[in-house]
Amino acid sequence: MRTVYVIGIGAGNPEFVTVQAIKALNQVDVFFLMDKGEAKQDLVLLRKEICERYIEDHSYRIVETVDPVRDPDIADYKTRVEAWHQQRSLIYEELIGGELEENQCGAFLVWGDPSLYDSTLRIIDTVKARRQIRFNLLVIPGITSIQALAASHRISLNGLGESVTITTGRQLSLGLTSVEDTAVVMLDGQCSFKAMIGTDLNIYWGAYLGMENEVLLSGSLDELADEIEAIRAQHRSRNGWIMDTYLLTKKG
């Protein structure tokens, strides 16, 4: 039977790849890479670098395919994403069924960890539910941008006996009006932290975490919000893409 790995490769630094992930990489015959366009070629190149660095037998193949674009004409966010997932699931099904022999192993390399704000597992579940092809699924965890952010800032995620909320910029903009303990915000393309100005918060912000061009800022949100927004825009324009994460916490 075919085997499909979903391997978390960490938040950008090839040295974030775990020993378990390296062992899995060395079992793979075909790697499936989703091409998100020229602006994000760095993300494809990093995946290829990880393969070259850690795989001993270079007889593996890499199959690249174009990632479909979310339909901007679908106004509702969840409906738009579900339609995009459906498109992706058909591509995944074609890749697994067409590129793998019955006894071969394929893999999708996931930035960060497959369980946290990544669609790969949901899409593969859709493929399995259609029952057109049979395969075993194995998941390897990875170091998230949240862990990388805390390590780079040399901080603990939670206060003593306190909780941590993990959310997205979209959810923050929809009305998270207070931060009781600590909130970690991912996938914020709109600088939604600006809605929290005046609520007496500190921010720990990081972009390109673990990479050579890592950028870090920390301090009062009120004082740093405009600077972070400007630096974020500058780096996104220069590199064509940006991945950033931040932590919000009450002062003191």
pLDDT tens column, 169-214: 988 887 665 677 789 999 999 999 998 999 899 999 999 999 999 9
Q: How large a percentage of the chain has pLDDT more than 70?
A: 96
Domain boundaries, the chain: 2-140, 145-250
**SS3 at position 199:** coil
pLDDT digits (tens, 9 = 90+) for 80-136: 988 988 999 999 999 999 999 999 999 999 999 999 999 999 999 999 999 999 999
- Residue-level length of the chain: 252
Contact assessment for residue 50 and residue 80, using Cβ atoms and an 8 Å cutoff: no
The listed CATH number (3.40.1010.10, 3.30.1370.60, 3.40.1190.20, 3.40.50.720) that belongs to domain 2-140: 3.40.1010.10
- As a whole number, mean pLDDT of residues 3-23 equals 96
Is residue 39 over pLDDT 60?
no
For position 64, what pLDDT does the model report? 92
Calculate helix-pair angle for 77-99, 120-130, nearest 10 degrees.
Answer: 60
Q: Are 2-140 and 145-250 in the same CATH fold?
A: no
For position 37, what pLDDT does the model report? 66
Q: pLDDT band for position 48 (50/70/90)? A: very high
Q: Measuring CA to CA, which residue among 112, 108, 68 is closest to residue 88?
A: 68
Q: What's this model's pTM, rounded to 2 decimal places? A: 0.91
Contact assessment for residue 79 and residue 68, using Cβ atoms and an 8 Å cutoff: no
Contact assessment for residue 46 and residue 40, using Cβ atoms and an 8 Å cutoff: no
- What is the rounded (10 degree) CA torsion for 89, 113, 80, 229? -150
Q: What is the CATH number assigned to the segment(s) 145-250?
A: 3.30.950.10
